Structure formats: structure tokens, C-alpha cells
């Protein structure tokens, strides 16, 4: 696999340098190593701060959702690696405007460990912390163990809804409730067609023979629930959307938001072909699409594949999804 990089060990820091140069007035560094980044206008006095974070390699995942009506800060780890507790703590202090800070991040062992340590550090400094761990990946655990599921592209809905609540001045308890509500109503299922190559390792994170696909694969290459011959777009959409709908079990007449997400190397046209079939399946179930999103929202470097996320919305969540939001990677 050919990559446009310099020294692999400098990859993440050079990406951060480039983002700071390309989008002045968007984010600023909260630490000398630039691994804790916050909104350019942080802290928002009297407003809840929202901190997320995780490994690099998922652009625009994590870092791209710092902005108006979204998250207030982010801690940036190496590729597919958790940020440190100190980096998370520095982001926390930098976004604290006196109303407390919400942590919102995916359910991965290293992230959970380091965010928990950072929460302890912040509370010793008198900063109120609430935490919502994201768990939308249907393939990673059965419904009876939904708390064990991974957090994947459903993070976009959690960031958007919680960010809108924080922007309008809701309390920490309310912002945390809304993030939890968005997470609990979201389900995601993905498909991988080719592996990703870690810049430092120079080798694939998993192997997948030509002509095969893996249903339920994780954004770091975690094993899925089915591996077999590559199917048509409609058959793939049936598998992904069907699993989501069985898990959500929504009554006819429900309203939903849908996100069809590319994993890094899948053309936008193919994502729209998936959306076409998924939208038809939702309609067949008597569900109404309130809002739709198609594009690259949470990637895995150059992995080919896609995921579908469906969130059951009500009036509260629809209003929050429609609220203004702005970052170089997201506009509402």
C-alpha cells in the first residue's frame, strides 16, 4: 500500500499541524504537544464543556467534531491508540467554563481507562464531570449486553445533540441525559471490503481475501459477525439495515435519522447506492426519515467499506439535530 506520508512516527503531529494551519480560528492547542485541542473560543463561560477523544486515523472522527454546536475539546491519541489521561485532563481544564464538563467517547478499553483517570484528576480540581460511553455497534455484542458494545459512527448523533444542548445553555445533567438518549436510540452496523494499513507498522490490520467482505467489522479491524463472498449493494444494505431494525424494533410511524458512512476508501456514489436501499427498507417498515446524512463521518484510514447508523428520534432530538453547528468537517 502506497501512502503519502513522511516519517511514520511524525504522522499524527503533522496532521495536527496541518489542521491548525488550514483552519485558523477553528481550534487552538491547549498543550505544548498539541494533543489536546479546543475550540478557538473556549472556554465558554457558563456553558457546559464537552470533551471527546480517541485514536487518530478516523478523520473526521473525534477531532473533526470540535466546533460550534458540537464538542468543545478533544484529546488526540496515536493511530488507533487512546490519548493519555493527562491529555484528556488538559482538554478538560481548557474547556471548563464553570458549568462542568461532559466526556463522550467510544467504548474501548484504553479510552475508558484514561478518561476515568482524567475524571478523577478533574474532580480533584473541583470540575464536575459526567460521562457517556458510546455503544451503538450492533455487531459487537448482543442486545442483552448492549453496554459492552463498541462506539462507532453513532458518535456523530451524540456529539450533535449534546453539542446543541450545551450551546443553548443546558445544565451538565441535561447535556449528559441528551447524549445518553442519543446513544441509547442509535444503532450501527458496518461492512469491510479491504483492510487499513497502519502508518507505523506498514502492514494491514487484518486480512481479507479478494472477492470477500466482512459484515460487522470494527473501525480498528475488529472481527465481524460474518465473512463471505462479496454481495451486491442491495444485499449488503439488507444485512446492515436488517440487523439494525431487528435490534431497534421500532413501531410503524416512528421517525428516524439515518447516516450512511464511508470508512475511507469507498466512493460517495457507492454510499448513495447503499442509502437508496436502506431508505426503501425503512419505508417498508413504516418508518419516516426525519434527517439523512451520507458521506465520510468516521473513517478507518483507507479501509474500504461503509456503515449504516439509524437513530430513533423524537421532537427533542430532531430539534437538536437541526440546530446550527459548524466545524471544517460538519455544517448544519
What DSSP string describes 129-173?
EEEEEE--BGGGS-GGGGGGPPP-TTHHHHHHHHHHHHHTT--HH
Neighbours of 246 (CB within 10 A): 11
Residue 51, helix vs strand vs coil: strand
Please tell me the total number of residues recorded for the chain in this structure: 332
Q: Distance (Å, rounded) from C-alpha 193 to C-alpha 75?
A: 29
Active site residue 58: yes
Q: What's the distance, CA 132 to chain centroid?
A: 13
Distance separating alpha carbons of residues 218 and 227, to the nearest angstrom? 13
Instruction: Report in angstroms the alpha-carbon separations of 295 from 108, 140, 298.
Output: 24, 23, 9
On whether the CB atoms of residues 165 and 212 are closer than 8 A, the answer is: no
Contact criterion met (CB below 8 Å) for 156 and 259? yes
Using DSSP's 3-state secondary structure scheme, residue 257 falls into: strand
Distances (CA, A) of 201 to 59, 79, 117: 19, 10, 29
Given the residues 23, 220, 226, 312, select the one marked as catalytic. 220
First to last CA, the chain: 35
Quick check: is 220 catalytic? yes
d(CA 19, CA 208): 33
3-state secondary structure of 28: strand
Active-site residue (options: 23, 58, 226, 312): 58
The backbone torsions φ and ψ at residue 221, rounded to the nearest 5 degrees and listed phi first, read 90, 15
Q: Are 190 and 306 in contact (CB under 8 A)?
A: yes
CA gap 157, 317 in Å, rounded: 9
- The residues carrying an active-site annotation are 58, 220
Amino acid at each position: 500500500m502506497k501512502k503519502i506520508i513522511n516519517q511514520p512516527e511524525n504522522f499524527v503531529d503533522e496532521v495536527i499541524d496541518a489542521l491548525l494551519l488550514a483552519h485558523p480560528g477553528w481550534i487552538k492547542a491547549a498543550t505544548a504537544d498539541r494533543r489536546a485541542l479546543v475550540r478557538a473560543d473556549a472556554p465558554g463561560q457558563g456553558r457546559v464543556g464537552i470533551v471527546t477523544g480517541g485514536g487518530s486515523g478516523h478523520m473526521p472522527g473525534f477531532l473533526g467534531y470540535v466546533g460550534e454546536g458540537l464538542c468543545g475539546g478533544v484529546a488526540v491519541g496515536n493511530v488507533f491508540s487512546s490519548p493519555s489521561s493527562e491529555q484528556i485532563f488538559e482538554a478538560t481544564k481548557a474547556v471548563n467554563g464553570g458549568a462542568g464538563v461532559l466526556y463522550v467517547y467510544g467504548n474501548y478499553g484504553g479510552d475508558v481507562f484514561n478518561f476515568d483517570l482524567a475524571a478523577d484528576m478533574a474532580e480533584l480540581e473541583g470540575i464536575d464531570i459526567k460521562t457517556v460511553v458510546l455503544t451503538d455497534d450492533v455487531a459487537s455484542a448482543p442486545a442483552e449486553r448492549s453496554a459492552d458494545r463498541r462506539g462507532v459512527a453513532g458518535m456523530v448523533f451524540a456529539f450533535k445533540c449534546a453539542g446543541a444542548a450545551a450551546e443553548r445553555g443546558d445544565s451538565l445533567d441535561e447535556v449528559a441525559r441528551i447524549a445518553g438518549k442519543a446513544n441509547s436510540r442509535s444503532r450501527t452496523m458496518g461492512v469491510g471490503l479491504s483492510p487499513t494499513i497502519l502508518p507505523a507498522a506498514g502492514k494491514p490490520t487484518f486480512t481479507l481475501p479478494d472477492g470477500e467482505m466482512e459484515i460487522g467489522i470494527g473501525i480498528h479491524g475488529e472481527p465481524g459477525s460474518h465473512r463471505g463472498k462479496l454481495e451486491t449493494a442491495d444485499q449488503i444494505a439488507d444485512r446492515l439495515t436488517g440487523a439494525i431494525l431487528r435490534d431497534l424494533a421500532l413501531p410503524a410511524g416512528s421517525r428516524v435519522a439515518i447516516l450512511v458512512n464511508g470508512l475511507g476508501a469507498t466512493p460517495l456514489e457507492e454510499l448513495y447506492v447503499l442509502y437508496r436501499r436502506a431508505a426503501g427498507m425503512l419505508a417498508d417498515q413504516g418508518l419516516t426519515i426525519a434527517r439523512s446524512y451520507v458521506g465520510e463521518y468516521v473513517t478507518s484510514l483507507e479501509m474500504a467499506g461503509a456503515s449504516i447508523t439509524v437513530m430513533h428520534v423524537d421532537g427533542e432530538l430532531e430539534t437538536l439535530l437541526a440546530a446550527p453547528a459548524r466545524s471544517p468537517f460538519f455544517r448544519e
